């Protein structure tokens, strides 16, 4: 219980942080790397602390704080062996067996799952890393900046109807725009979202605006998507199984964005809808 409390407590803190609305990929990468480093440290030195905490808890509950010893296993005795003592197989202590087969197994599985699940972040960093912050953007020299812009253009390429590679932006134009942005970007503008607001206000850097929009629409976690799927069980059940896709999408959007819809003035919306769809005309005599 002590071991699981330590592991799940750390995961819970980082998980809640990653699900915040303003979470950025570079911040998420830092948190995940810190979590992995914390588990690697816990793997080496956490067992002793867990044992001491468990013994204190067992003492308060009047439980004998000892590991149950397993029965000694003997091997097959040969004709030249006098006693059974010589046929004993090497056996680790109960405490060491618990550390190896329980603690190390759980921690190794946790570290492996974190590295596998969030390895996509490293690819995002290779493609969009130079756009994460204003500091990273301004620290690049011309050759590196141009190479990263061309790499981003290749990553965003797709096939059109004529089977030609078409990208969402032009790498050379993006390079020229970012060179200008490096000099005119305000000092208080630091994060990617703040840079996007600045570009939207300037309205003269189309390639940079597209690049930052794509960056900021990349989901940090899949929690929002999982919540969206869980809402479907409330909308489409065995008692309400026939509806068009348009209606299902509209109802799902209303249910998912319920907090945002609470700010709407429904009476004004109803009046606007009635005015636009009114079929009766008022005739004055």
Kindly report whether the global pTM for this prediction surpasses the value 0.75: no
Of the listed ranges 30-44, 172-186, 208-222, the least confidently predicted one is 208-222
CA distance 113 to 7: 13
Q: How confident is the model at residue 225 (pLDDT cuts 50, 70, 90)?
A: low
Query: What's the whole-number mean pLDDT along residues 54-81?
Result: 72
Phi, psi dihedral angles at 88 (to 5 degrees): -70, 135
Query: What's the whole-number mean pLDDT along residues 31-40?
Result: 90
pLDDT at residue 149 in the model: 92
Q: Which residues pair with 159 in a beta bridge?
A: 165
Of the listed ranges 70-79, 137-146, 244-253, the least confidently predicted one is 70-79
Query: What's the whole-number mean pLDDT along residues 218-227?
Result: 67
In angstroms, the Cα distances linking 107 to 35, 41, 169 are: 12, 10, 43
Q: How confident is the model at residue 82 (pLDDT cuts 50, 70, 90)?
A: low
- Could you tell me which residue, 162 or 254, shows the higher pLDDT? 254
* pLDDT tens for each residue of 46-64: 888 888 888 888 888 888 8
Query: What's the whole-number mean pLDDT along residues 183-199?
Result: 88
Of the listed ranges 49-58, 73-82, 91-100, 228-237, the least confidently predicted one is 73-82
pLDDT at residue 114 in the model: 85
């Amino acid at each position: 219980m002590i071991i699981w409390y330590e592991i799940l407590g750390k995961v819970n803190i980082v998980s809640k942080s990653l699900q915040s609305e303003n979470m950025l990929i570079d911040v998420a990468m830092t948190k995940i790397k810190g979590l992995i480093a914390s588990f690697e440290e816990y793997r080496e030195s956490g067992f002793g602390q867990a044992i001491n905490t468990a013994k204190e808890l067992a003492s308060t509950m009047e439980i004998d704080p000892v590991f149950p010893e397993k029965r000694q296993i003997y091997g097959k005795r040969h004709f030249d062996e006098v006693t059974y003592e010589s046929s004993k197989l090497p056996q680790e202590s109960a405490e060491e067996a618990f550390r190896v087969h329980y603690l190390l197994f759980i921690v190794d599985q946790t570290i492996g799952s974190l590295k596998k699940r969030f390895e996509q972040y490293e690819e995002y960093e290779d493609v969009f890393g130079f756009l994460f912050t204003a500091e990273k953007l301004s620290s690049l020299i011309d050759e590196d900046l141009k190479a990263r812009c061309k790499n981003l253009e290749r990553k965003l390429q797709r096939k059109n109807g004529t089977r030609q590679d078409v990208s969402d932006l032009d790498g050379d134009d993006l390079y020229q725009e970012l060179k200008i942005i490096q000099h005119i970007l305000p000092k208080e503008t630091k994060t990617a979202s703040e840079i996007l607001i600045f570009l939207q206000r300037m309205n003269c850097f189309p390639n940079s605006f597209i690049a930052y929009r794509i960056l900021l629409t990349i989901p940090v976690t899949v929690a929002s998507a999982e919540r969206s799927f869980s809402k479907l069980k409330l909308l489409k059940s065995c008692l309400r199984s026939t509806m068009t896709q348009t209606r299902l999408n509209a109802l799902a959007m209303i249910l998912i964005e319920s907090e945002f819809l609470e700010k709407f003035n429904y009476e004004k919306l109803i009046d606007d809808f009635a005015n636009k769809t009114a079929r009766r005309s008022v005739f004055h005599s």
